[in-house]
Structure 1
Amino acid sequence: MDDYIAISLLNDFIFCPYSIYLHNVYMESDESQYHAAPQTMGRIAHKTVDEKKTTNGKGDLVSVSVCSDEFRIFGKIDLYRYSSKTLIERKYQLKNIFRGQIYQLWAQYYCLCEMGMKVEKLAFYEISTNKMIPVPLPGANDREEFVSFLCMVRKYNPSSDININTNKCRHCIYCNLCDKNRIENVYI
């Protein structure tokens, strides 16, 4: 399982591949060194799912570990509703849906399908607005794009140069710990 990728890292990789390296460096340290308000809100939002305290229908799957040997990915789903065959990813707030978030949902979808579950719908649930946002199921071209993306993640070398995007860097939780930039974090 050395080359299996955690589903939770897919969006982070698109945001900044180097942030995954920094996450691994600092993961044993005090989170207060680098966590900011968005991560704290996200953790709180996920708490009800992680502790399986969310309201759900009888027999729905909540916070279940999933894995795909075909794609060599693993992670957890937030919610699968048997009644509507819908896979739901909960987010506290969604001003935009980023490609990495779509990849995370697709990854969960592919895992469930490989595990024999029938998934007919995908959606994000925005907790702050109590709004369900449907997402189309991935097609053949989406699958190719996803496989290509996973190859890129596996080939990434943290010693390579990164494109510094000052707006992204300012909002990165590792900004002040990063050796690739000299930008101040907006969360200070």
Structure 2
Amino acid sequence: MIDYIAISTLNDFIFCPYSIYFHNVYMDTDETMYHATPQTRGRSAHETVDKKTASNRADDILSLPVYSEEYGLMGKIDVYKRKERKLIERKYQLKQIYQGQIYQLWAQMLCLEEMGYAVEELAFYEISANKMIPIKKPDNEELRMFRSFIERFRNYNPEETPFTVNPNKCRHCIYCSLCDKTTENNVYQ
């Protein structure tokens, strides 16, 4: 049986594999203990997708659960525009697009395609700027690199992988004050 990887953890794994541990430990607790303003805004921005009120167009599919047996992935998409065959990931604000965010979008695309949906366009929608940011679909080499990344994720063993503290990342981690790996203070305090 496949242990599915949650699409939402792909960016977290690149950022810091240890943050996935914290996310799971604190999942059922009061988010105000560790969520900073960016996460609170992001959660609020996602409410309209989760409640399926972000669009009233009949051809828009919102908050669809997706999975891929081939890649061993599962998650939810934000918006799929059927007529345009366009997959959109909504973000409150995007100062920079990270590889992990692109991997999340590719993972959603691969799941949708495996489920029988045609995806011709990918984009991030930045809510705060009311801006659509097109992302190119992965080519064969990028898909090979993505598969390799998924295998690294699947085979990751924290006991066998030395943990390296990255002070810049730690300062921007919502779990920084809860983490035993660093003495950094995060920028949100």
- TM-score > 0.5 by shorter chain: yes
Question: 1:56, CA displacement in angstroms?
Answer: 4.3
Matches for 1:83-162 after TM superposition, within 5 Å = 83-159=83-159, 160-162=161-163
Look up the match of 2:64. 64
Report how many residues are paired: 188
Tell whether 2:173 aligns with 1:168. no
Change (3 A) 1:56 1:119: farther
TM-score where L is the length of structure 2: 0.96
In structure 2, distance between residues paired with 1:184 and 1:4: 33
Look up the match of 1:53. 53
Read off the aligned partner of 2:123 and give its amino acid letter.
Answer: A
Q: String of CA shifts for 1:37-69, please: whole Å, max 9, x gaps.
A: 110000001010011011242231100000000
Q: Which runs of 5+ in 1 are unaligned?
A: none
Look up the match of 2:19. 19
Tell whether 2:186 aligns with 1:182. no
Read off the aligned partner of 1:82 and give its amino acid letter.
Answer: R
Compute the RMSD of aligned alpha carbons: 1.2
In structure 1, distance between residues paired with 2:162 and 2:72: 26
Contact 2:11 2:104 in 1 (8 A): yes
Read off the aligned partner of 1:180 and give its amino acid letter.
Answer: K
Q: String of CA shifts for 1:15-51, please: whole Å, max 9, x gaps.
A: 1111001111221222111111110000001010011
Q: Which runs of 5+ in 2 are unaligned?
A: none
Which stretches of structure 1, 4 residues or more, deviate above 6 A after TM superposition? none
Change (3 A) 1:127 1:101: same
Read off the aligned partner of 2:102 and give its amino acid letter.
Answer: I
Percent identical residues: 61
Contact 2:2 2:72 in 1 (8 A): no
In structure 2, distance between residues paired with 1:119 and 1:135: 12
Question: 1:158, CA displacement in angstroms?
Answer: 2.9
TM-score where L is the length of structure 1: 0.96
In structure 2, distance between residues paired with 1:27 and 1:3: 19
Contact 1:21 1:158 in 2 (8 A): no
The secondary structure found in structure 1 opposite 2:90 is strand
Look up the match of 1:79. 79
Look up the match of 1:38. 38
